[in-house]
Each structure stands twice: as C-alpha cells, then as structure tokens.
C-alpha cells in the first residue's frame, strides 16, 4: 500500500489528502441528508436572519484568510530568496561569517568584511573549470542604490544577456539595475557609504555615465548600479588592478601587485560537479573560504521552518478560537429560530430531518465563510507580496498551494462536525417551551 501511494503523482497525493480531510464532513452529510430535502427550509432560515448570518460568514472568512495568508507568504519568501541566490553558486571570500557574506553578496546588505588579496584572486581566476571569477567591490551608493564594482562578464551572466543599451567599455561608464531611477545617458556621481548622510560625502570628482540597463531579475540586484571594479578602486585613490602601463585596461587579468583587494569573488564553474572541487580547493585556513550560498540559505530555511511551525501553530490556535466562537454563535443563533424548529417537531417531522435543517444551516455558513476566506487569503497574500517585494527588493510571489487548501478543508470539516452540537442542543428542548418562544 505504501508503494502504491509513493508511486502516485504528487498532485494526486495532495488531492487525496484534501479529500481525506473532507471525508468526515461528507459522511455526516450523507447520513443526515439521506432521503430528505431540507434545503428550502435552510434557505428560509438563511434569508430570515441574513445580517446575523453574514456576520458569522465574515468572522469565519477572516480567520481562514489569516491562516492562508501567513502560510502562503512564508513559502513565497523562501522561494524568492532561493531565486535571488540562483546566480551565486559559489562565493570565495576571506575567512569570516558565511551569513554576513551571503547578505553582502546576494542581498547587497552593507557589511564590513576582510579583503582577498590579488594573489588569491589570481589563483582563483586561473583555476581549471572556472568560467567566471567576478570580484565585487562595495561601499558606495547613489540615492540609496548600492554601487557595486565588478567585471563585464558577471553583468552579462547576471542579466542573462538581456541588457538595454550595452555593457561598459570605459572606466566612467555604468550599467544599472531595472529598478534604478537613472536613464541611459544620465550622468551621476557615487557617494561614499550608505544610508542617511551618504549624499553629503559624494565623490564629485567622479562622473559616471549610464550606458545600459539590465532586464528585471527579481533580486536585490535590480536596485544596484554596476560599474567597472577599476572605477571603484580609482575613486578611492587606490591602484586599479593593472600595472601603470596597462592602467586603461578593463577586467581580467589583474596584476596581483596592483590589486587592492576584494570582499568576495563570485565563481561560475564550467560544470555543476566542479563546484565541489573548487570549494575544497579555495578553502584555506587563514587565507580564504569558499561556500555555497544555497547551503547557507538552507540553514536560514531551518530557522524559517521553525518560524513556519510557529506561524502554523498561531494559525491553528486562531482557527480553534474562531471555531469555538462560531459554535457558541451558532448555539445562540439556533435559539433565534427555535419556534420554527418546535413547529416542525410538533408537526411530526423526524428528529433526523430537524437535525439536518439545523446542521445544514450551520454548514452553509461554514462553507460560505471558508470559500470567502480562501479568496480573501489569496488577495491578502498578493497584497503582502507587493509590500514585501518593495521592502526586500526581491520578487515575492505568494500563491495559494495545497498546504493552504488543506488548512481550509480541515477547518471546514472539523467545524461542520462540531456544529452537530448546537443542532443537538436544539432537539433537547421541549416542544412546548419552543412554541412559547
């Protein structure tokens, strides 16, 4: 049996799990409704107390939407961060914190890290199976956008060749990310540092002209200004990586004697398997460390997994509290129409028919609230995604998946079964008391 389940398509497993959650509801409905047609009376009860019913539907919808929105958003953030690190298979840096380097290189967060020297960079760039060895130089900004020095090959790799205009051909040219408020042809001066007050320390002697714009990548690099790494070194009064007779050169090879240092080197290998050998080769005690950003993200995901469990628990507790409130409300609501129920019983209606009417009304409210909650959850997730995309500079796309559908199905099924309690409470009352109201 286990083998049969494992061989089923994933979507079929998910659909089966949802049906399993709804099974108690379906079995109960078949038992109560078999041979009866209570829906005209159910519709009458819904119409008679429409505003009270609408209030309960809204309460249920908000509860379901909160749970769905939280779970979908966490998954969207995880997927967005994975996409952001996709182009950074291997990073080599001076020994230090992998998490700090991950935030600096992939997410462009300002960080103070040690530098790799020219000899180490030369060995990295000259290693077999290394297609791209891109030094990164941080520290400057333009109106909040980080200015990053690198090599032209990395820009083409990052943008996958989709560049409006062209890549730089001189030291005073730049390529901007898709979200940077600079047009092609614009001239600007970078500022030293980041944050408030950075513009007061502008490198006015450096004038850079935008010659290209990358297509959107859905990563923090969409807000980056990319310039030749030589320009970053020159603007700070350092050697530009080339001997004096070659000072106009751009990109590798660099002369180790004139290489000021780089916080990190992004390595693209010729084959996936080569990354593991390169990581071992570039990890030297006291000189350099090499790490996979995806591995560091996995560690971060472990923390996010704990957060997800906490969010799921919070959503579950919220659902339980709302379910209790809904059941209490249904019990109160049932007292509003106990005269009608008593009349049914006085006319000789079977107890199961009366139970089907009361339960059908409660289940209709629960079903309507759950469906509306799924719709609201989808809208809430989409709205939160836009806010988080603007705050994190990542393209966050939160969509409703099977996890959220299971949450809604479990809530609907459990509350529908529990709604038998208010229905049974109605049947316990005496007919004479119900008729007196």
233: which residues sit within 8 A by CB, 6+ positions away?
137, 149, 239, 240, 241, 260
pLDDT in 10s for each residue of the chain, 437 residues: 566 666 667 777 778 888 888 888 888 888 888 877 778 877 877 887 788 788 888 888 888 888 788 778 778 888 888 888 888 989 999 898 888 899 889 998 888 888 999 899 999 998 888 999 999 998 888 888 899 999 999 999 999 889 999 999 999 999 999 989 899 999 988 887 564 444 545 555 678 999 999 999 888 999 999 999 999 998 888 888 898 888 889 888 899 999 998 999 999 988 888 888 888 888 876 788 999 998 888 877 776 666 666 666 666 676 677 767 777 776 766 666 666 666 665 665 677 777 788 788 888 888 898 899 888 888 888 887 887 777 777 777 777 778 888 888 888 888 888 878 777 776 665 554 544 45
Residue 429 phi, psi dihedral angles, 5° rounding: -70, 155
> Of the candidates 236, 289, 316, which has an alpha carbon nearest to the alpha carbon of residue 120?
289
Dihedral sign computed on CA atoms, order 301, 307, 313, 317: negative
pLDDT value at residue 196: 46
Domain range list for the chain: 12-83+300-436, 90-291
pLDDT value at residue 197: 47
pTM: 0.74
Please tell me the distance from the alpha carbon of residue 305 to that of residue 75, in angstroms, as a whole number.
10
Distance of CA 129 to the CA centre of its chain: 34
pLDDT value at residue 148: 93
> Of the candidates 243, 236, 175, 227, which has an alpha carbon nearest to the alpha carbon of residue 205?
236
Distance of CA 307 to the CA centre of its chain: 13
61: which residues sit within 8 A by CB, 6+ positions away?
369, 370, 372, 373, 376
């Amino acid at each position: 049996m286990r083998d049969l389940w494992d061989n089923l398509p994933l979507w079929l497993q998910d659909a089966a799990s949802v049906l399993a959650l709804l099974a108690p509801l379906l079995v109960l409905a078949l038992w109560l409704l078999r041979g009866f047609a209570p829906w005209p009376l159910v519709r009458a009860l819904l119409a008679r107390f429409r505003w009270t019913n609408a209030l309960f539907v809204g309460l249920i919808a908000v509860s379901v939407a909160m749970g769905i929105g939280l779970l979908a958003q966490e998954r969207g953030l995880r997927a967005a961060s994975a996409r952001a690190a996709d182009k950074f298979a291997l990073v080599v840096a001076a020994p230090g914190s992998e998490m700090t380097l991950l935030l600096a290189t992939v997410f462009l967060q300002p960080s103070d890290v040690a530098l790799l020297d020219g000899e180490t960079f030369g060995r990295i760039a000259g290693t077999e199976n290394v297609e791209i060895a891109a030094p990164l130089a941080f520290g400057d900004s333009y109106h909040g956008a980080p200015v990053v020095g690198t090599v032209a090959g990395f820009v083409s790799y990052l943008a996958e060749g989709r560049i409006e205009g062209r890549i730089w051909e001189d030291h005073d040219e730049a390529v901007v990310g898709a979200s940077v408020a600079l047009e092609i042809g614009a001239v600007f001066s970078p500022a030293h540092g980041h944050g408030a007050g950075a513009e007061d320390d502008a490198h006015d002697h450096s004038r850079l002209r935008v010659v290209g714009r990358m297509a959107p990548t859905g990563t923090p690099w969409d807000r980056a200004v990319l310039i030749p790494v030589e320009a970053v070194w020159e603007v700070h009064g350092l050697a530009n990586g080339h001997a004096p007779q070659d000072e106009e050169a751009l990109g590798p090879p660099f002369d180790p004697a004139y290489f000021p240092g780089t916080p990190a080197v992004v390595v693209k290998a010729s084959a996936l398997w080569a990354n593991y050998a390169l990581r071992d080769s570039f990890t030297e005690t006291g000189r350099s460390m090499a790490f996979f950003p995806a591995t560091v993200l996995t560690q971060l995901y472990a923390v996010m997994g704990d957060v997800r469990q906490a969010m799921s628990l919070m959503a579950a507790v919220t659902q339980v509290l709302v379910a209790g409130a809904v059941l209490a409300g249904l019990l109160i609501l049932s007292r509003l129409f106990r005269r009608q129920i008593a009349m049914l019983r006085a006319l000789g209606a079977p107890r199961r028919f009366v139970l089907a009417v009361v339960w059908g009304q409660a289940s209709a409210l629960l079903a309507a609230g759950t469906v509306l909650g799924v719709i609201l959850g989808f809208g809430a997730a989409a709205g939160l995604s836009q806010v988080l995309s603007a705050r994190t500079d990542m393209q966050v796309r939160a969509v409703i998946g099977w996890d959220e559908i299971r949450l809604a199905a479990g809530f609907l099924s459990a509350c529908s079964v529990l709604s038998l309690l208010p229905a049974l409470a109605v049947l316990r009352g005496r007919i004479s008391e119900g008729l007196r109201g």
